[in-house]
Each structure stands twice: as C-alpha cells, then as structure tokens.
Amino acid sequence: MYRTRNIMALALIGMTAMANAQVGEDTELYKTLKTKDSLLFDAAFNRCDTDTMASLFTEDFEFYHDRGGFTDGREEFLRPTRENCEKRDPNAPQYSKRILIEGSLEVYPLNKDGQLYGAIQHGVHRFEFLNDKNEYQKGDIAKFTHVWMLVNGEWKIKRELSYDHH
C-alpha cells in the first residue's frame, strides 16, 4: 500500500512538472517558434519558397507522416516540393492552404544543464484544397509535432511528425 502511494505521488509530481513545462504565449520562445511555424507553412503553401524551407531544417531532418511514411534528410524531403513548384503556374490560385487551429499551439523548452538547446512545438492544423470550381473546400485536420534545435543561434527543425489525419 505504501509503495503504491509513493508511485502514485511520483507520477502526479511528474505530470505536474510536465504540465508546467509549457511556455506561455507571451514568452519570446513561443513567439519565435510561432513565427517560424508561420514562415515555414507560408513558404511551403503560399510562396513555393524552398530556399526558406531549407533554411528552417537541419541537414539530417527526419519527417514522419502517418499516411506518407518516413522521409530521411532535408534534400529528400524538399525534392517533391521543388518539383511541384517548378510546374506551378505563378498566376494560378494556390491549390492548397494550411490553417493553424487557434489556441492549439504549444511550446515546451528543452534544456540541458540549465541551457536552452531546443524545443518541442505541438499543434493542430487543417488544410483546404481547391475543387474543380476553384473554391476552397475543407480537407484533413491533423496534429503536428516539431523538434526544434538551436543550431549556431538559429532555430531549425530536426524532426517533424504529422499524424492523426482525419
């Protein structure tokens, strides 16, 4: 009985510590990574700017997608986007767009010996696609998790998970 209470107390302390680890929306870390998130998806969906996208990923970037599988490396990940962007008519409306669900973004700092070295960013987003009448229709809603690393003073995504598409 005593041992069970100790285990439950430790679990509760651990959950409380995890709940308190999320930074507030008013912090510099949260604002910076929210801006980086917007920059990434604007480059990918609105501007076909693969140079900006490349600047936001580490070279050893890994992408895990619940429908599209695993992609190993920044260049392997960017190749299909570059190919699609080359075919895109710059005067045509953007085929798809990404919308971050208000209030879903969370940021958790990663520290070692009191020094910030990275962060986990989690959120929910939805997508819209043009139909044959050139009208946007709702697509999937999904969760995403980015592992950001501070590399030479710059925030870069090292790992990305895209999952729970429905």
What's 44's DSSP letter? I
Token pair 């986007």 is found at: 81
With respect to CATH, is domain 25-163 assigned 3.10.450.50?
yes
DSSP percent split of the chain into helix, strand, coil, nearest 5: 35, 40, 25
Question: 3-class DSSP state for residue 95?
Answer: coil
CB atoms within 10 A of CB 160: 20
- Dihedral, CA of residue 132, residue 134, residue 135 and residue 139, to nearest 10: 60
What distance in Å separates the CA atoms of residue 158 and residue 42, rounded to the nearest whole number?
19
Per-residue pLDDT of the chain (166 residues; tens, 9 = 90+): 555 454 544 444 444 344 448 999 999 999 999 999 999 999 998 888 999 999 999 999 999 999 999 999 999 999 999 999 888 887 887 888 999 999 999 999 999 999 999 999 999 999 999 998 989 999 999 999 999 999 999 999 999 999 999 9
pLDDT value of position 20: 46
pTM above 0.85, yes or no: no
Q: Where in the chain are the domains?
A: 25-163
pLDDT value of position 13: 44
Closest C-alpha to 25, from 101, 105, 98, 83? 105
